[in-house]
Amino acid sequence: MNIRDIAKICGVSPSTVSKILHNKDKDISIETRKRVLEVIKEYQYVPYSKVIKSVSPKTNIIGVVLSSDAYGVQDMLYSIEKTASDNGYSIMVCNTEGDRDRTVKCMKVIENKGVDGIIAIYQDEDIIGSTAVPAVCVFDHKVPAQQRKTADIYYEMRDVGYLATSFLIKNGHYEIGALLLENDAEIEEGYYRAYKENFLSPRKEWIIRGNEEDIISIGVHKCLNNDITAILCADAIIGNVVYDRLRERGDMGRISVISARDSTLADKMNPKLSAVSISPSEIGKTAVESLLHIIEGKKPVYESRKKIEAKVIDRESVDTPISNKQGGKLVVVGSMNMDCMINVSNIPTDGETLRSRNIVMLPGGKGANQAVGAGKLGGKVYMIGRLGNDSDGKEIYNSLVNSGVKTDGVVFDDSIPTGKAYINVAADGKSTIVIYSGANEKLDNGQVKQFEHLLDDARYCLLNLEISEQTVAYTINKCKKKNVEVILKPSSVEKISESLLKNIDYFIPNEKELKQLIPDDMTIEEKAEALIKKGVKNVIITLGEKGCYLRNEKYSKYFPAADFHPVDTTGAADAFISALAVCLSEGNDIIYAICFATYAAGISITRQGVQPAMVDRVGLDIYREEINALYANSLQQRC
């Protein structure tokens, strides 16, 4: 700043300012003199500062321009002062309060003091870039370096969103909510990138952005009502509100929480809040060191730009989902089809032609259905199956991945299309199915052998007879050698060899399948008894709206169906089997597992389709009291 700058601000001539500075202002009005002196004082103008600077080129003072309410600025300032002091410099601080005009003024004040360099924290890059003094700028984003006179110390908020979301995914979370502020677009971008790299797709309703007031009053409640197992919060303040809501719901510990910004509050919360940290102290130290390199001629500006890397601070608020943590490993070996759902008024009879009001293509197949059902409930589930290398196959694959299924054993076949199922769904929810096996035909012993390592340490293997009986028999043999219990759903068959039956731990047919396998005029109890005598450990016969029947060495027991209005019953059995397997893998007894599975099946019939109708853990836990009541009643009934 010089005399001309003062004159321009005051609206007087440079000679008037000069006269006042040299006490030759007798002919100048009191009002003008007062106005000029106030501006000189406000801008802390030092006459001949450039001359003084040239005579004594170093003041060993660093000017710091900041907004006192900016993120981490207090810790940053402490670090700047310490690093400067350790290197023989002092600092002069100017608070802009986030105002552009005040920033311009602060820059002029600091320059008038003859500082050796300037550190600007979260300030307008154009204003700082116009200074003639060596300067370092701190930004929360990368600024193009072309033709910039300043050295930038920066970090990127997209890295924050990416690291936080990746950390949650690595801990087994695939349904992650996000409560972000209006200016957190880069955090959201990182959130999406982490999902994409893990071949997952978040739902749009999981992400809520807005001002802090709206997030706290509406957004937290809205987010928690989604099917999520973890939440990424913009900061610890929002994280603390999430904690309060979780305690009110009795869900503390069931949902993991992480903050995109670390703070002292995060470390004081109970449990301590995990967070992504971009160390303000490291930023401050790096800014001073870079500025000193420029001032002292050790490095040019373009070599003094540096990126500060974010890192996750793992405290106590992130854990694996409860079901993943408790449940044993499940492996599904079975069919995967693209289902063509055809809605009709009634199931067509011989020679009858019907018009359909709606046709929908959805991922299906009993193997894929059961894997998705188990995955949505938080099961640790792996899939072994075969798809055509076509658009249907890729859609089914994505459905598996998005449901948390491990697809290590899935093979894409270039020589044959993905299997298909043509399903007639009547107005009363009943259905019939015609299957084209497609790539499922080539799910053979060789593929099972290739991926048999997936059976290591597994608790249960889920099988169905939409694939060849030879492949099923081979898989069962591998399971027996590895002490893996077998759950088998018979379908599309009229006969099963007795050598197969004796190695089945859980055999789960419906009434029609049971009648095909044992056409004799016998009661359900008698047919179940016959299967037990052939070596099956547990027989569970699903009876649709009448519930199911269990027979084993200890029990001969009926269970009522859950009271839900049917829309589409196609996937009820697969929902039942997948929920049964997950519940058993978590160490529950068979009676509780059947009650649990009964409600999973009941919820599924209220929705169209199969895989989209599968309930997740949050949705099923809503009926926890009803499940517990059914369990208590079942234990009290005589066998």
Buried b (16+ CB within 10 A) or exposed e, 399-409: bbbbbbbbbeb
The set of residues, in sequence order, having a beta carbon less than 8 Å from that of 441 and lying 6+ positions away, is 416, 468
Q: Quote the tokens at residue 165.
A: 């979301």
- The label of the residue with tokens 């907004």 reads 67
The dihedral formed by the CA atoms of 622, 628, 634 and 637, expressed in degrees to the nearest 10: -130
- The label of the residue with tokens 């399948």 reads 513
- The label of the residue with tokens 């093979």 reads 411
**Helix or strand or coil: residue 373?**
helix
Q: Please give the single-letter amino acid code of residue 93.
A: V
The set of residues, in sequence order, having a beta carbon less than 8 Å from that of 38 and lying 6+ positions away, is none
Backbone angles phi, psi at 432, to 5 degrees: -130, 155
Q: At what angle do helices 366-376 and 572-585 cross, to 10 degrees?
A: 50
Which one of 414, 574, 589, 621 is the catalytic residue? 574
Answer whether 449's CB lies under 8 Å from 472's CB. no
Active site residue 574: yes
Lateral strand order in the sheet of 311-313: 207-210, 176-181, 230-233, 256-259, 274-277, 311-313
Here the contacts of 215-221 (C-beta below 8 Å, separation 24 or greater) are 215/179, 215/180, 215/181, 216/241, 219/179, 220/179, 220/245, 221/245
Calpha distance 326→185 (Å, rounded): 36
Answer whether 288's CB lies under 8 Å from 90's CB. no
By annotation, the residues acting in catalysis are: 574
